[in-house]
Amino acid sequence: MAKFVLMLPHAPDRYTNLGEDEFMDLMKDYIGWVEEMSAKGKFEGGEKLLDEGGKIVTNKSGSIEVHDGPFAEVAEILGGYMVINAEDYDEAVEIARSHPHMKHNETIIIRQTDASADD
């Protein structure tokens, strides 16, 4: 079975304006989804990333630079990631379709891991 990473981008202020009840409902959706996928052997792990902070390291013509990021002017930040097990991209897409992130008009980026090639 192959491993895929679901990357969860969102607008920087997407979840900061939620009321407590709305936030708790959202968390219940995420926890329920993780429990369901875990029971099916599809969920490997994942983490929410902090909305603030971060660093961007670039190498431009041999000069390595470090910048604070993500920047306020970006349209989206990477809010988190999840690692899933799926037979192929088609199954990974079906799993992503059921993810709570999709209920909020968001995007999920799916990438297969290189470790999958060893299976």
User: Does pTM top 0.95 for this prediction?
Assistant: no
Q: According to CATH, what is the number of the domain 2-118? A: 3.30.70.1060
**Structural domain boundaries in the chain:** 2-118
What pLDDT digit, counting tens, does each position of 92-119 carry? 999 999 999 888 888 999 999 987 555 5
Tokens in use for 31?
A: 């926890």
In the chain, the N- to C-terminal Cα span, in Å, equals: 7
Q: What is the pLDDT confidence band of residue 70, given thresholds at 50, 70 and 90?
A: low
Q: Would you call the peptide bond into 9 cis, given omega within 30 degrees of 0 as the criterion?
A: no
Sign of CA dihedral 67, 73, 75, 77: positive
Alpha-carbon distances, residue 39 vs 15, 24, 32, 35, 113 (angstroms): 28, 22, 11, 6, 22
Neighbour count for residue 18 (Cβ, 10 Å): 12
What pLDDT digit, counting tens, does each position of 34-46 carry? 999 999 999 999 9
